[in-house]
Amino acid sequence: MMENPSVSGASTVLNRWEEEGKKLTKWELSRVIKELRKYRRFSLALGVYEWIHEQGDRFRVSTSDTAIQLDLISKVHGVLSAEEYFLKLPDTAKDNRTYGALLNAYVQAKMKEKAESLIVDMRDKGYAMHSLPFNVMMTLYMKLKEYEKVIEMITEMLEKNIKMDIYSYNIWVTTCGSMGSVEKMEEVLQRMKLDSSIYPNWTTYSTMATMYMNMGLTEKARDCLKKVESRITARDRIPYHYLLSLYGSLASKEEVYRIWKAYKSNFPSIWNLGYHAMIASLVRLDDIEGAKRIFDEWLSARSTYDPRVSNLIMGWYVKNGLLDEAEAFLENVFEVGGKVNSNTWEILAEGYIAKQQISEALTCMKEAVSAEGAVHWKPKPANISTLLALCDEESDLENKEVLFEVMKQIGCLDNGKITGETESGSNLSSDRSYVDDDDTESNLLLSQIPETL
């Protein structure tokens, strides 16, 4: 709640609290850290741990604390800093928790070789005798689309009688579907049902629905989505987001509106992510009037302005060649005090690129570079390639220099050549639906698997 927490830091508040005569307990500090992590305030949470260590031997620090601190260091300072922290730990602090935290850091960074090397060490030390490290590794292989490696991990678990949990089964289902085997996917589901310790949850059926959709089995997908609804617990919002997205992908407008109505009836307020999921589905269905109505509702109900929501509608206008409408919509965003991000400007730039208005497109790209949060933005490779081609066709050296300057500012220009993985597209940056259409199953599973800690 501090006005500028990044400057003040956690220690300022904790010291002030104790100066007022209120002594903190370890239980209270652990609860604070848990809450800060829940709301992704990782730097502040790490600051609490740093304050704890400043107190000397006053508080007992467990290996669970050490593991959580390692996780926070990875999130705040990067995986190499977390690795350095781990290497400096005494042997007594290196147990299954801290090893698991480092493994999770490697996996999040997609550092495959280091993750594979670490899990070998974990096997040797007896720290890989339960499902969680296997689940973490399998999500890495799944994200890398190395499905045979996932099956190898499953086989190892079966051979060693390592008990699978719901996440293990869900990954197995996903892998079979990704490999195109409906029969094996359904066999895994039957195996889940026969396991008395497992109850297939909404994630299971949402994943299967996605797989059936990918295989063109729409009726089976619909049956699974009905099972998703039957497994939603009272206060869980996330299944509604996936239902909205998946029904939108099935072109089921009536179902999208029905789910939206049920969502609103169960919750007094809807998060930005909920509005984003609904508007993304309506945009996918080309129901732009409906999307605008929901957008207006969001404007009156929102607590914070999320530019990703308005970008959905702008993107629809541009995709459909309605550049004037996109410009007018952006003006309206500014009028209501809304925010924009780099993707907002790139979306508008795409409209100008389609009309071969090079100068206007480059003006937008320059705005994208200076927008809030631009440090994490990379332009779409296709946009850069098209702009370069247009400049060459027109022999427009002036605008080509402007484009090179933009690329230089975002670190994608080296010795006059465009770099930074733009050719492969791995740095492609764009607003997507709540569920990434290209990798729904992986995102779904990653959102459901609990943190290693």
Q: Do 440 and 142 meet the contact criterion of CB atoms below 8 Å apart?
A: no
Condensed to tens digits (0 to 9), the pLDDT of residues 119-152 reads: 999 999 999 999 999 999 999 999 999 999 999 9
The predicted pLDDT at position 5 comes to 52
Model confidence at 220: pLDDT above 90:
yes
- Cβ-based burial of 20 (10 A; exposed 0-12, middle 13-18, buried ≥19): exposed
DSSP character for 16? Answer: H
**Which of the two residues, 212 and 17, has the higher pLDDT score?**
212
What's the confidence (pLDDT) of residue 417? 59
* Exposed/middle/buried for residue 325 (C-beta within 10 Å: 0-12, 13-18, 19+): middle
Q: Which residues contact 340 (CB under 8 A, 6 or more apart)?
A: 307, 310, 330, 333, 334, 371
pLDDT digits (tens, 9 = 90+) for 336-359: 999 999 999 999 999 999 999 999
Helix axes 397-409, 381-393, angle to 10 degrees: 160
The whole-number pLDDT of residue 160 equals: 95
Rg (CA), the chain: 25
- Secondary structure tally for the chain: helices H, strands E: 24, 2
Confidence of residue 24 (pLDDT cuts 50, 70, 90): confident
Between 259 and 2, name the one with better pLDDT.
259
- Are 222 and 249 in contact, with CB atoms under 8 Å apart? no
Tokens in use for 437?
A: 């259409």
**370-404 pLDDT, tens digit each:** 998 888 888 999 999 999 999 999 998 999 999 99
Q: Which structure tokens are listed for 353?
A: 């690129």
Other CB atoms closer than 10 Å to residue 62's CB: what's the count? 14
AA letter at 136:
V
Local confidence band at 447 (pLDDT 50, 70, 90 cut-offs): very low
pTM score: 0.81
pLDDT at 443: 42
Any residues with CB less than 8 A from the CB of 208 and at least 6 apart, and which?
173, 177, 185, 189, 220, 221, 224
Which of 429, 438, 387 minimizes the C-alpha distance to 411? 429
C-alpha span between 300 and 308 (Å, rounded) = 16
Question: What is the per-residue pLDDT for 292?
Answer: 97
pLDDT value, residue 450: 42
- CATH number assigned to the domain with residue range 305-416, chosen from the 4 options 1.25.40, 2.40.128, 1.10.3470, 3.30.1490: 1.25.40
DSSP class of residue 278 equals H
* Pairwise CA distance, residues 271 & 235, whole Å: 13
Residue 371 DSSP label? S
Inter-helix orientation angle 96-108/63-77, to 10°: 20
DSSP, res 235: T
